[in-house]
Structure 1
Amino acid sequence: MNTRNSIVYLVMLFVSLKAYSQNSAQEELNYAKTLDQRASKIVNTLEIADSAKYNRVKSLIVNQYRELNAIHEGKKAKVGTEETAASRLTLLHSEYLKKLSAELTSEQVDAVKNGMTFNVLAVTNKAYQDMIPSLQPDEKTQINTWLVEARELAMDAGSSEEKHQIFGKYKGRINNYLAKRGYDLQKERAAWNARLKR
């Protein structure tokens, strides 16, 4: 490569790196904005009057999303093992809940969990109770227990699709449980749909 070609190559490389850097900076700004909006939406439901506390809680949520993303991106890039990622998620989950609990009541912590999982727990619980009005107290308790377990796992998922897949798995478990308890879910669903149309 002669001197002139070397200079042209270096100029093109510099321009490419600068464009890449600008794109990366813009992507980071967009990502930060998305996380801020997502966290604000959750924190706004908590009725926190103290602005300093509001900002601390919002920061905790934003940081949690960032840490979760880093772990899941590492899994995609095959950095470390699945076991390493799983143990990092478990530790991150535990630390996050400790930090939230230091700032919030248990009801507010639950509201954060629900916000991070699109309120699927409450919606699904209500749907089962509306669909099967004859559910017994122990059955309602079991359904809620599994949905709470699903929510804990879904909080750490890498995407909304993965969160919904986790809840889907638990809904399957609930449906099997109810079928074993003698409920005809197709019949219950048809009757529920008929009630909704009325």
Structure 2
Amino acid sequence: MKLKQILMCIGLLACPLLKAQSQPDSEQAYIATVTKRSDKILAELQIADSVKYKRVREIMVKQYSDLNKLQKSEEQTEQKRAELHKHYVSQLASQLTPAQVEKIKDGMTYGVLPVTYKAYTDMIPTLKDEEKSQIMSWLTEARELAMDGGSSEEKHKVFGKYKGRINNYLSGRGYNIQEERKNWEARMKAFKSNGR
């Protein structure tokens, strides 16, 4: 054994032998993690048919795994990501109702869309229908992109960008976002202090 190999294997340099052995374990751990995550998301759908449940879970786990591999690959392209997304949504749609597919999308993105939409409509109760529609449109677009993010941080970053866009849009429509937020916080505080 050469000096470099010895240094690698005693921990002074990265050992390719240990790396090769640990990769399958880390891949199995990742699959176990995304399987649990998929089960948690699917629990809300209450799918009674166990065969369908397992089929949908396999689709979800494969998507997580494919996105993880793509993120690690040298040739990460937006086109490949878009193809994976389109195929994934198509597979889900072949097994589930549109409402169930929406729940999976929300689950994969930590429910940021419905929570954020509700926050905007609660914060600014005077929003017009067209403004609500625009907010929902941008949050939906953000969710579609965030679904393909490899990490929680990456998913939240996508939503952050769209929240900035929404805030700019609302400011352009004459809303003072800071003032609206202060008023909303005061309403929430009053609501809580009244024991509700």
TM-score range, shorter chain: 0.7 to 0.9
Map of 2:68 onto structure 1 = 69
Distance (Å, rounded) in 1 between the aligned partners of 2:167 and 2:23: 45
Distance 2:16 2:78 in 1: 35
Q: Does the 8 A contact of 2:34 with 2:64 survive in 1? A: yes
After TM superposition, which residue ranges in structure 1, 4 or more long, deviate above 3 angstroms? 16-22
Counterpart position of 1:52: 51
Distance 1:154 1:184 in 2: 28
Indicate yes or no: 2:33 matched with 1:34: yes
Query: Which residue of structure 2 aligns with residue 111 of structure 1?
Result: 103
The residue that corresponds to 1:97 in the other structure is 89
Q: CA deviation at 1:20?
A: 4.2
TM-score w.r.t. the length of structure 1 is 0.86
Are 1:128 and 2:120 counterparts? yes
What is the TM-score with the length of structure 2 in the denominator? Answer: 0.87
Aligned match for 2:186, one of 186, 194, 198: 194
Where does the alignment leave 5 or more consecutive residues of structure 2 unmatched?
10-14, 191-196
- The yes-or-no answer on 1:178 pairing with 2:170 is yes
Distance 2:22 2:107 in 1: 30
Query: Shift of residue 196 of structure 1?
Result: 1.2
Cα-to-partner distance string for 1:6-63 (whole Å, 9 max, x where unaligned):
8xx89x97xx776545433332221121011011111111111000000000000000
CA contact (8 A) 2:31 2:65 kept: no
CA distance in 2, matches of 1:140, 1:25: 47
The root-mean-square deviation of aligned C-alpha atoms, in Å, is 2.0
Instruction: Provide the residue aligned with 2:141 in structure 1.
Output: 149
How much identity, in percent, do the aligned residues show? Answer: 49
Determine the C-alpha separation between the residues in 2 that align with 1:128 and 1:180. 15
The amino acid across from 1:108 in the alignment is Q
Query: 1 CA distance for matches of 2:157 and 2:19?
Result: 35
Cα separation, 2, equivalents of 1:20 and 1:93: 30
When the two structures are aligned, how many residues end up with a matched partner? Answer: 182
* Separation (CA, whole Å) in 2 of partners of 1:155 and 1:195: 33
Gaps of 5+ in 1: none
When structure 1 is superposed on structure 2, of 20-29 and 120-129 the one drifting more is: 20-29
